[in-house]
């Protein structure tokens, strides 16, 4: 690549902070660095035409965990860990709303529901029996009961009569959120370059050599916010997890409003206006879905369509308008990895399935490592 004197001077000389990845975490890290260092040169490098991982692909649930997910997490994490994680998601959501504004992100506090299939009666009964305990451990944070039983009024089929309702859950417009974040980053004089893949880096002690495909430059510090693409960087602590999604054409008189969880969070659906967005099914084929490649598979898409027909919209005609996928970062713990890798190299990755909530906080924590 041949660069001019001006291009080198303005974009690639005296770079203080290079952020890799322009998702929720990368952009929040940039905004936080700008708050702390008003005169620094901050450069964001993004390999996609748009942020190209999970932040522009997700379902827009402003959530912090369904009842069954929380119960599930208690099997592998301590109670303290679980409550702390929920608190971080909750605080992250407040930060996101404060920074971007409810109007900009189209925040709709419709509440969230967990739906249990008839065939999962054992799971349902387990959740109901543990509901008072979970409410109790969340009381200090929410000052009210989070979960309650409610009769299904949405006309779902093949499910338990009762849903679990959470009034603190909401939905946002993911596209609006990311556009507003990008606008704020540009207004804060953060340089963003798209279609630039960082292929390697070398921490030289007094700075980092950042290598793009056919070009390199020096940055004082580098911050990786590459989430599902951070496997090599974190020596295997982060695995990619593809998530497939579909959306219907508008459905006349759709009476479903809110965010809905099914099967311990493996499926999720919501209304977007009068359409239904439905995603999930990674658990049908974990091996194939452990990938950084975007794409769809028959096994997952067929299951999603089956759920639409037989559970979510049993009495309505619908058509699928569009399908897509995104790449999440997961691992053996639900806690993100926010750490210093060497003198001038930092990362904030492994956001899991609730990065809309926790992402703003992790971006801030990443920036505050410096
Ligand atoms: C289908 C789907 C539905 C979801 N639904 C929800 C939801 O409803 N609610 C919720 O809270 N969370 C949801 N999530 C999770 C949430 O979207 C993520 O946790 C969050 O977006 C992660 O943000 P991030 O900034 O860490 O990662 P990303 O958004 O993935 O950003 C990482 C960026 O790094 C870039 N990058 C990677 N490697 C390089 C490189 N070498 N050089 C340059 N750039 C690079 C990528 O292109 C990408 O843009 C969902 C995720 C998916 C996929």
Binding site membership of 355 for ligand 1 (Cβ less than 6 Å): yes
Please give the distance, rounded to the nearest whole angstrom, from the Cα atom of residue 60 to the centre of ligand 1: 12
Q: Separation of 128 CA from ligand 1 center, angstroms?
A: 33
Whole-number pLDDT of residue 284: 97
Q: Give 233-251 pLDDT, tens digit per residue.
A: 999 999 999 999 999 999 9
Ligand 1 pocket: which of 21, 30, 168, 214 to mutate (most atoms <8 Å of CB)? 21
- 268 band by pLDDT with thresholds 50, 70 and 90: very high
pLDDT of residue 241: 97
Going by pLDDT thresholds of 50, 70 and 90, the confidence category of residue 119 is: very high
Instruction: Give the ligand 1 atom nearest the CA of 228.
Output: 30
> Where do runs of H (alpha helix) occur along the chain?
5-12, 24-36, 67-76, 79-100, 102-105, 121-142, 174-187, 286-289, 298-307, 355-368
Does the pLDDT value for residue 209 go beyond 80? yes
Beta carbons of 116 and 160 less than 8 angstroms apart: yes
Q: What is the mean pLDDT of the chain?
A: 96
Distance 162 CA to ligand 1 centre (A): 33
Residues 6+ apart with CB under 8 A from 244: 279, 280, 281, 282, 289, 296, 297, 300, 301, 304, 323, 324, 325
> What is the model's pLDDT at position 365?
97
How many Cα atoms sit within 13 Å of 50 on the Cβ side? 11
Short-list 156, 159, 138, CA closest to 148 = 138
Q: How far apart are CA 208 and CA 198, in angstroms?
A: 12
CA of 316 to the centre of ligand 1 (A): 33
pLDDT band for position 356 (cuts 50, 70, 90): very high
Using CA positions, which residue lies closest to atom 41 of ligand 1?
A: 198
- Over residues 147-175, the mean pLDDT reads 97
Q: Atom of ligand 1 at shortest distance to CA of 56?
A: 29
Q: How far is the CA of 132 from the centre of ligand 1 (A)?
A: 34
pLDDT band at 149 (very low <50, low <70, confident <90, very high): very high
Measured in Å, residue 329 CA sits from the centre of ligand 1 at 8
pLDDT at 117: 95
**Does the CB atom of residue 65 touch ligand 1 within 6 A?**
no
Q: Is 23 in the pocket of ligand 1 (CB under 6 A)?
A: yes
Q: Is 296 in the pocket of ligand 1 (CB under 6 A)?
A: no
Q: Mean pLDDT across the stretch 167-181?
A: 98
Ligand 1 in reach of 55 Cβ (< 6 A) = yes
Are 279 and 132 a contacting pair, CB within 8 Å?
A: no
Q: 30 by DSSP, 3-state: which?
A: helix
Q: Quick check: CB of 353 below 6 Å from ligand 1?
A: yes
Instruction: Ligand 1, residue 48: give the atom nearest the CA.
Output: 47
Q: What percent of the chain has pLDDT over 90?
A: 97
Tell me how far the alpha carbon of residue 206 lies from the centroid of ligand 1, in angstroms: 31
Ligand 1 pocket test: which of 280, 328, 336, 337 has the largest number of ligand atoms within 8 Å of its C-beta?
Answer: 328
Mutate to test the pocket of ligand 1, among 18, 20, 23 (most ligand atoms within 8 A of CB): 23
Average pLDDT for 350-365: 95
Q: Output the pLDDT for position 213.
A: 86
pLDDT tens digit sequence for 329-355: 999 999 999 999 999 999 999 999 999
pLDDT band at residue 111 using 50, 70 and 90 as cut-offs: very high
213 lines ligand 1 (CB under 6 A): no
Read off the pLDDT of residues 97-109 as tens digits, 9 standing for 90 and up.
Answer: 999 999 999 999 9
Distance (angstroms) between ligand 1 centre and the Cα of 130 equals 32
- Binning the chain into helix, strand and coil, the percentages to the nearest 5 are 35, 30, 35
Mean pLDDT of 195-223: 96
Tell me how far apart the alpha carbons of residues 156 and 119 are, in angstroms, rounded to a whole number. Answer: 14
DSSP of 146-189: --EEEE--S---SB-SEEEEETT-EE--HHHHHHHHHHHHHHTT
Which of 271, 87, 252, 248 lies closest to 170 in space, CA to CA? 271
Residue 351 near ligand 1, beta carbon < 6 Å: yes
Query: Would you say 275 and 247 are in contact if contact means Cβ atoms under 8 Å apart?
Result: yes
If you measure from the C-alpha of residue 217 to the centroid of ligand 1, how many angstroms do you get, rounded to a whole number?
Answer: 26
Residue with CA at minimum distance from ligand 1 atom 25: 23
pLDDT at 1 over 80: no
Do 225 and 363 contact (CB within 8 A), yes or no? Answer: yes
At residue 153 the predicted structure's pLDDT band, cuts being 50, 70 and 90, is very high
């Amino acid at each position: 690549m041949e660069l001019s004197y001006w291009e080198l001077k303005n974009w690639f000389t005296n770079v203080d902070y290079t952020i890799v990845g322009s998702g929720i975490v990368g952009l929040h890290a940039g905004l936080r660095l700008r708050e702390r260092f008003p005169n620094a040169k901050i450069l964001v490098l993004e390999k996609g035409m748009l942020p190209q991982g999970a932040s522009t692909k997700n379902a827009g649930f402003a959530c912090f965990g369904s009842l069954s997910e929380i119960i599930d997490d208690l099997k592998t994490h301590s109670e303290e860990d679980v409550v702390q994680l929920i608190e971080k998601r909750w605080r992250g959501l407040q930060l996101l709303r404060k920074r971007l504004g409810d109007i900009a992100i189209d925040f709709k506090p419709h509440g969230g529901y967990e739906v249990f299939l008839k065939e999962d009666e054992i799971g349902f009964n387990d959740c109901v029996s543990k509901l008072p305990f979970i409410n109790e451990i969340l009381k200090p944070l929410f000052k009210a009961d989070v979960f309650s039983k409610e009769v299904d009024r949405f006309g779902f089929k093949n499910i338990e009569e009762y849903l679990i309702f959470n009034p603190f859950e909401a939905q946002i417009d993911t596209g609006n959120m990311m556009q507003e974040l990008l606008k704020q980053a540009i207004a804060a004089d953060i340089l963003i370059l798209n279609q630039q893949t960082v292929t390697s880096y070398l921490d030289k002690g007094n700075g980092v050599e950042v290598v793009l495909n056919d070009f390199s430059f020096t940055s004082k510090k580098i911050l990786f916010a590459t989430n599902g693409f951070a496997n090599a960087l974190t020596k295997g602590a982060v695995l990619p997890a593809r998530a497939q999604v579909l959306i219907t054409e508008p459905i006349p008189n759709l009476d479903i409003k809110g965010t809905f969880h099914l099967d311990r969070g493996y499926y999720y659906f919501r209304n977007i206006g009068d359409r239904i967005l439905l995603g999930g099914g990674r658990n049908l084929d974990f091996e194939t879905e452990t990938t950084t490649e975007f794409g769809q598979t028959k096994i997952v898409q067929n299951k999603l369509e089956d759920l639409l027909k037989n559970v979510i919209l049993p009495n309505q005609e619908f058509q699928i308008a569009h399908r897509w996928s995104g790449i999440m970062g997961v691992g053996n713990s639900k806690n993100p990895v926010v750490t210093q890798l060497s003198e001038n190299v930092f990362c904030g990755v492994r956001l899991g399935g609730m990065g809309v909530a926790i992402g703003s906080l992790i971006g801030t924590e990443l920036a505050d490592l410096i």
